[in-house]
Amino acid sequence: SQQGEEDPQALSIQEGENATMNCSYKTSINNLQWYRQNSGRGLVHLILIRSNEREKHSGRLRVTLDTSKKSSSLLITASQAADTASYFCATDNYGQNFVFGPGTRLSVLP
């Protein structure tokens, strides 16, 4: 069954604006990861946040995790056209497997 569910499914913003994507999941997790996929390519790992962490930063990326609500958010600040891609959250269920959400398609308009 689907574990991660991203929201929104699609997002269009202007260059320079911030983009926020949310992810919800259903079961206990060991960690939650965010990935980016450019069209027709493989996925690139962005950030891994563990279940005992609440917030993590990497450059213009900020990820939060709320285990009580079983949700996570990815914030991209000062977006650039190169950020246009699909973003997926994936949950690691203690080594059972990685389950990917349906993704958010982000379009950053110049």
Report the C-alpha dihedral over residues 15, 85, 76, 101, rounded to 10 degrees.
Answer: 150
Q: How many residues bind other proteins (CB under 8 A)?
A: 25
Distance of CA 39 to the CA centre of its chain: 16
Applying CB under 8 A, among 21, 49, 76, 99 the residue interacting with other proteins is 99
Q: Rounded to an integer, what distance in angstroms lies between the CA atom of residue 36 and that of residue 90?
A: 11
The residue among 24 and 98 lying less far from other proteins, judged by its C-beta, is: 98
Q: Rounded to an integer, what distance in angstroms lies between the CA atom of residue 5 and that of residue 25?
A: 6
Scan residues 2-31 and list those touching other proteins (CB under 8 A): 30-31
Distance of CA 63 to the CA centre of its chain: 8
Asked if 103 is part of the footprint of other proteins (rule: CB under 8 A), the reply reads: yes
**Site residues (vs other proteins, CB under 8 A):** 30-31, 33, 35, 40-45, 48, 50, 88, 90, 92, 94-95, 97-103, 105
